[in-house]
Structure 1
Amino acid sequence: MTSPAGSYPYRPETPPHPGEILKEQLDEQRVSQADLARRAGLSTKHVNQIVQGVVSLSPDIAVRLERATGVSAETWNQLEAVYQTHQSALEDERKLAGEIGWVGKFPLAFLAQMGVLRDTGQSLANLQRLLSFFGVATPDVAEQAWREYRLAFRRSELVEGDGYSIATWLRVCEVRARNIECEPFSRERLIASIPEMRNLTLQQPALWQVELPRLCASLGVSLVFIPALKNTHLSGVTRWLASDKVMIGLSDRFKTDDTFWFSFFHELAHVLLHGKRLTFLDHGKEPGDDGEVDSSPIFLHGDSKVPGASSESEREADKFAQNSLIPEQKLQKFLSLPAAVTEQAIRTFADDVGVAPSVVVGRLQHEKIVPWSFARKLKTVVRFNSN
């Protein structure tokens, strides 16, 4: 939590015990501890224990001290709260000092690049920043919270990456997405906006990386672009953050605009066609990989190397992405023409359909109509920065 603009919490490095303040009050007023004890209805021993910092100052004692010293009970209670909070923080730091090694499990360079950490050191400060970033109290709590994800990863036989890197990339997506202000989600307006989104394929990345998130936010979709993270093998994620706000996070894993647009419309299909209670993790489309994966409580999707694995949701999402970009009827008409598929023919067809030539190339490669090396110069490089 941050303080409101212009205000700062009172957090001295070594806050005094209320007994120190009480002693200063007694010395200033030239009042003995015994006299204070009589006027406050306390034993001299109890007052001395407060002054020495041996016992805590309870709300009941704070009320008595207000009447005896003129210092408000609220002030005494605040002094006690600040002192006890500081003591608890010191104890927490002592416990965390033995768990600093946990920091080393994370992609520290990536976290520093994203502004989560100030450096890449395995330090207590970075451990505390990591816990705050993930919104958990201790490493044990984090491990327990992620257990369901790990089980899903293992069941899917899909995610071969490092679990800590996966958790990091997903959390960066979520934090960025939650900070984007969106209009309430509207399925009808989202469907109506698909042609406008499709038209953005004709623009350069510098433009659509600005315009597409803006358009999505107006429809209740928080779209974030996060650089690909090594050892995650993830190209996208879809997750509902609230009943009226959904997150789509996309990486630049494959570095080309055709794969980006297919991934975007694939994730959009999950928003429009599938349940709000599931998280969809997109493993992406590797050249030559044709399998898919089954669902799990944390729904993983993408291509799997498991023979016979299938997913109706994945087929639906793939079909939606394909038809949203290039209607099947138009593609088949193009392929039925007697002329051979050439770069010029692709450009002409793309212009007729109203999409970037790279999208056509990617579709033809996926359909194995042309080799993966064909017309790659028609594709545009896509890279996301850390901002």
Structure 2
Amino acid sequence: MNPGADPLAYAPDSIPHPGETLKDTLDELGIPQADLARRTGLSTKHINQVIKGTAPLSPDTALLLERTTGVPATLWNSLEAAYRTQQAREEESKALASRVDWLSRFPLAELVKLKILPNREKTPANLLRLLDWFGVADPDTAEDVWRSYRTAFRRSTVLEPNEYTTATWLRLAELRARELDTHPFDKSRLTALLPKLRALTLAEQDTWIEDLPRLCAEVGVAVVFVPALPKTRVSGATRWLTPEKVLVALSDRFKKDDQFWFSFFHELGHVLLHGKRLTFMDDSDNFSSSKVHEDPDEDEANEFAANTLIPLPYTADYQQLRAKPMPFSRIEAFARRVGIAPGIVVGRLQHDDALDWKYGNNLKRTVTLI
């Protein structure tokens, strides 16, 4: 079943066991059960159990029935499979009925808004729909999967108080990325593409929102934009979907271009510098130079992003600007020399405590993802 499909869409309320069809067939053919037993070599007791539905109709029995009734074995097998599947579905529904409170951990209003669920009701049907959307068997399995992600996360917001909303955001990103056609990942081509990607910081959102995913797809990077969900701190994520395709997901949590572009190049740092078996979920704490991270990978990704946006040849010029950032015309002139949006320079200066956070924000551009 495709992710997001309704798991109940093709599930009738009840499916008769194949014994009922066998009984009707025998009645139409005028074959008594005892006669069928003799023709098939099966016991009368077993035939009776199949007709009552207390014994399964095996593939071997289906072949025997094909020869004695003329009804294809494939039909008997299909009837048996449909009946057993329905029985299993009913048992699953009973088991999940006691787990519907698991839905309370998710942002149900957002799930309805995103058309993942039809309503906010805590019902077995909605629980099944959500499990199907996540592609997991049951709530315990889902949480085991997320725990395994956390083991791989070098810095993570997952499995904190907002774990379920964050898991929802990541699943949205994953599903969108899997739909994108990308070329096989090429590290050298991605590295060569960096100047062109950096130049997109100067473009209007209507331009880069189309060009950024297109350019990255050509080197095996599936870039997707997923608006930030309430109560999440996630700014970006990196996850290898296959050895030849890597997901880079970006949110609009901070709504400004300096944070957005730093997050993007931070994620590319993970792609270029770190292992394919790791998943990275990044938040604002990742980008703090004063924070002691659990792993140096985050510091490396930060350094990569900073040096990509303001390359090392401009370090001396930047230090001069840092010593005297005002008036704003100095910031704008430096941004022109470097070839990046001035809002990014403002954000860097604010981060480096060279400019008060209340100054220069008018040079930043708003990023809004839908």
TM-score scaled by structure 1?
0.86
Name the CA distance, whole Å, in 2 between partners of 1:323 and 1:260.
16
- Which range is displaced more, 149-158 or 87-96? 149-158
Residue 269 of structure 2 contacts residue 305 of structure 2 at CA under 8 Å; is this kept in 1? yes
Answer yes or no: is 1:345 the counterpart of 2:327: no
Residue 104 of structure 2 contacts residue 122 of structure 2 at CA under 8 Å; is this kept in 1? yes
Structure 2 residue identity aligned to 1:51: I
Structure 1 residue identity aligned to 2:314: K
TM-score scaled by structure 2?
0.90
From 300, 305, 313, the counterpart of 1:316: 300
Give the superposition deviation at 1:43.
2.8
Give the superposition deviation at 1:255.
0.9
Task: From the superposition, tell whether residues 359 and 159 of structure 1 become closer, same or farther in structure 2 (CA, over 3 Å).
Answer: farther
Structure 2 residue identity aligned to 1:53: G
Answer yes or no: is 1:381 the counterpart of 2:347: no
- Which range is displaced more, 144-153 or 352-361? 144-153
Counterpart residue number, 1:330: 314
Name the CA distance, whole Å, in 2 between partners of 1:156 and 1:241.
18
Counterpart mapping for 1:141-180 below 5 A: 141-149=141-149, 161-180=161-180
Please give the per-residue CA displacement for 1:65-115, whole angstroms capped at 9, x wherever unaligned.
111101111211111111111111111111111111111111122223333
Task: From the superposition, tell whether residues 231 and 316 of structure 1 become closer, same or farther in structure 2 (CA, over 3 Å).
Answer: same
**Structure 1 runs not aligned, ≥5 long:** 4-8, 296-310
Residue 285 of structure 2 contacts residue 291 of structure 2 at CA under 8 Å; is this kept in 1? no
Counterpart residue number, 1:108: 108
Counterpart residue number, 1:365: 350
Task: From the superposition, tell whether residues 50 and 192 of structure 1 become closer, same or farther in structure 2 (CA, over 3 Å).
Answer: same
Give the superposition deviation at 1:160.
5.1
Please give the per-residue CA displacement for 1:41-80, whole angstroms capped at 9, x wherever unaligned.
2333322222222221112211111111011112111111
Give the superposition deviation at 1:256.
0.3
Name the CA distance, whole Å, in 2 between partners of 1:286 and 1:317.
9
Answer yes or no: is 1:270 the counterpart of 2:270: yes
Counterpart residue number, 1:20: 20
Counterpart mapping for 1:132-281 below 5 A: 132-149=132-149, 161-281=161-281
Structure 1 residue identity aligned to 2:108: L
Name the CA distance, whole Å, in 2 between partners of 1:160 and 1:152.
15
Name the CA distance, whole Å, in 1 between partners of 2:92 and 2:158.
38
Name the CA distance, whole Å, in 2 between partners of 1:292 and 1:205.
34
Residue 157 of structure 2 contacts residue 283 of structure 2 at CA under 8 Å; is this kept in 1? no
Name the CA distance, whole Å, in 1 between partners of 2:325 and 2:57.
88
Residue 349 of structure 2 contacts residue 355 of structure 2 at CA under 8 Å; is this kept in 1? yes
- Which range is displaced more, 201-210 or 85-94? 201-210
Structure 1 residue identity aligned to 2:56: S
Name the CA distance, whole Å, in 2 between partners of 1:228 and 1:60.
55
Task: From the superposition, tell whether residues 113 and 207 of structure 1 become closer, same or farther in structure 2 (CA, over 3 Å).
Answer: farther
Aligned partner of residue 236 in structure 1, secondary structure: strand
Aligned partner of residue 235 in structure 1, secondary structure: strand
Residue 236 of structure 1 contacts residue 263 of structure 1 at CA under 8 Å; is this kept in 2? yes
Give the superposition deviation at 1:190.
0.4
Identity over the aligned pairs, expressed in percent?
50
Please give the per-residue CA displacement for 1:353-372, whole angstroms capped at 9, x wherever unaligned.
21111111111111211111
Give the superposition deviation at 1:207.
1.9
Counterpart residue number, 2:92: 92
Give the superposition deviation at 1:238.
1.1
Aligned partner of residue 249 in structure 1, secondary structure: strand
Tell me how large the CA RMSD over aligned residues is.
2.7
Please give the per-residue CA displacement for 1:329-354, whole angstroms capped at 9, x wherever unaligned.
42532553797622222222212221
Name the CA distance, whole Å, in 2 between partners of 1:254 and 1:315.
20
Structure 1 residue identity aligned to 2:122: Q
Give the superposition deviation at 1:10.
7.8
Give the superposition deviation at 1:38.
2.1
Residue 150 of structure 1 contacts residue 163 of structure 1 at CA under 8 Å; is this kept in 2? no
Residue 158 of structure 1 contacts residue 283 of structure 1 at CA under 8 Å; is this kept in 2? no
Aligned partner of residue 252 in structure 1, secondary structure: coil
Task: From the superposition, tell whether residues 178 and 327 of structure 1 become closer, same or farther in structure 2 (CA, over 3 Å).
Answer: same
**Structure 2 runs not aligned, ≥5 long:** 4-8
Name the CA distance, whole Å, in 1 between partners of 2:59 and 2:298.
60
Residue 159 of structure 1 contacts residue 233 of structure 1 at CA under 8 Å; is this kept in 2? no
Residue 160 of structure 1 contacts residue 233 of structure 1 at CA under 8 Å; is this kept in 2? no
Counterpart residue number, 2:6: none
